[in-house]
């Protein structure tokens, strides 16, 4: 005579209820995570990987940065800030550069040095670039007057950088944010 085994229907219902509960708990966690992460990623900060040599020695190829997208919503960039921007000739590409000239100023490149003339017509002042090695010079000679909402940006590696000397002024609507934190490599982790 054969004996049949039956599972207790209450146990089966408990297991099914537990699985459904875990499934909905997982969905809830995912939705809450997305509601937090997506706005931060698109409006506050985003990752950026340095490509190329245009910002050497300050930033090396392959370094991983976090870009602060919030600060410039409250005040404009300042001279010396390292920014991430949309390349004016192809908005799908992102570049990293340093702000040298501000709206209303005239940038004068002469004999490898940069002078800044304020919008009120004052005497040009030699730009002190303490973030660069002393032997770095800026060429070619040029004069560029900046209008409202326009910036003059350069790579720190002046001999190997496509920047405002090549494609002109940077309009403020092309700004993405400022370099805030270097996360990689670990030996160079730093906040800017």
Catalytic residues: 54, 97
Please list, residue by residue across 175-191, b when 16 or more beta carbons sit within 10 angstroms of its beta carbon and e when fewer do.
Answer: bbbbbbebeeeeeeeee
Domain positions in the chain are: 45-191
Q: In this predicted model, what pLDDT tens digit does every residue of 5-62 receive, in sequence order?
A: 555 566 656 666 677 778 888 887 877 766 666 666 566 567 777 788 888 888 888 8
Alpha helices in the chain (DSSP H): 9-39, 164-167
CATH number of 45-191: 2.10.109.10
* Rounded percentage of the chain residues whose pLDDT exceeds 90: 27
pLDDT value for 6? 52
Mean predicted confidence (pLDDT) in 111-125: 86
Least confident span in 44-53, 145-154, 176-185: 44-53
Whether the pLDDT of residue 176 is over 80: the answer is: yes
Nearest alpha carbon to residue 56 among 88, 87, 85, 97: 97
């Amino acid at each position: 005579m054969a004996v049949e085994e039956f599972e207790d229907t209450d146990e089966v219902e408990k297991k099914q209820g537990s699985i459904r509960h875990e499934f909905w708990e997982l969905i809830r966690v995912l939705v809450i995570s997305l509601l937090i992460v997506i706005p931060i990623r698109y409006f506050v900060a985003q990752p950026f990987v340095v490509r190329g040599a245009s910002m050497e020695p300050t930033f090396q190829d392959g370094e991983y940065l976090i870009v602060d997208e919030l600060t410039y919503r409250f005040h404009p960039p300042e001279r010396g800030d390292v920014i991430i921007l949309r390349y004016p000739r192809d908005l799908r590409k992102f570049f990293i550069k340093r702000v040298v000239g501000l709206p209303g100023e005239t940038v004068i490149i002469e004999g490898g040095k940069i002078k800044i003339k304020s919008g009120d017509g004052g005497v040009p002042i030699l730009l002190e670039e303490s973030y660069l090695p002393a032997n770095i010079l800026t060429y070619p000679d040029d004069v560029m007057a900046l209008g409202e909402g326009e910036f003059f940006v350069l790579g720190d590696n002046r001999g190997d950088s496509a920047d405002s000397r090549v494609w002109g002024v940077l309009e403020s609507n092309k700004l993405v944010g400022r370099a805030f934190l270097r996360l990689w490599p670990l030996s160079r982790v730093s906040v800017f």
